Amino acid sequence: MLKPVPLYEYIKALHLIFVITWFAGLFYIPRLFIYHIEASEKASPEKEILTKQLQLMAKRLWYIITWPSAILAISFAIWLLVLMPVWLQQPWMHIKLVFVVLLILYHLKAHQIFKQLQRNEVRYNSKFMRIFNEGATLILFAVVFLVILKSTFNWIFGVIGIIVLGILLMLGIKLYKRIRSKNPEA
C-alpha cells in the first residue's frame, strides 16, 4: 500500500523546480547581455535591429521566467524552513543561506544591468559580462555540494574546490577569447 506523501515533499519538489528555472534564467540573461553589448558595437541598421530583438528577448526571459522563479523558489524555501525549523540549527544551512544571499545579490545586480541595457546604456564590456556570467555557476556548485554533503563536507576542501572551479572557469574564458580572436565566428 502506498503511503501518502507529506506536504513537506511537495513543497521541496516545488522549491527545487523553481530553483532550476531561476538558475536557467540567471545562466541565460548574461548571454543576452553579451550579445546586446556586442550588437551595440555594430553598424546601422544591424545595431538597431539586433538591439531591439535582444531587449525583447531579455525582457521576456527576465519578467516571465527569472523573476517569478526567484520569488517562488524563495517562497517555497521559507515554507520549508517553517515546516523544518530544525534546519536553522545546522551549520551547513547557515553557509547555504549565505550563498542564497549572494545569489539574491547577483540577481539584483543582473537586474540593474538589465535595466541599463533596456535603456541602451552600455556600461560594461563583453569580457566583464563573460566573467559575471560565471557567478551563478559558482554559487550553484557551492549550494549543491552543501545540500548533498551537509555535515560530511570538509570546509577546507570545499573552499579550495570553489577556488579551483573559479580558476578553471577563468581559464576557460581566456581560452574561448583566444579561439574567438582567431575565428570571430566562434
**Residues near 2 by beta carbon (within 8 Å), at least 6 away in sequence:** none
pLDDT for 160? 73
Provide the residue-wise pLDDT of the chain in tens; the chain has 186 residues. Answer: 667 679 999 999 999 999 999 999 999 999 999 999 999 999 999 999 999 999 999 999 999 999 999 999 999 999 999 999 999 998 889 889 999 999 999 999 999 999 999 999 999 999 899 889 989 998 998 888 888 877 665 656 666 777 777 788 778 877 877 887 788 766
CA dihedral of 162, 168, 174, 178, whole degrees rounded to 10: -160
**What residues does each domain of the chain span?**
7-182
C-alpha cell read off for 101: 544571499
78 vs 103: CA distance, rounded Å: 15
pTM of the predicted structure, to 2 decimals: 0.84
Give binding residues for heme as ranges.
Answer: 15, 96
Residue with cell 531579455: 58
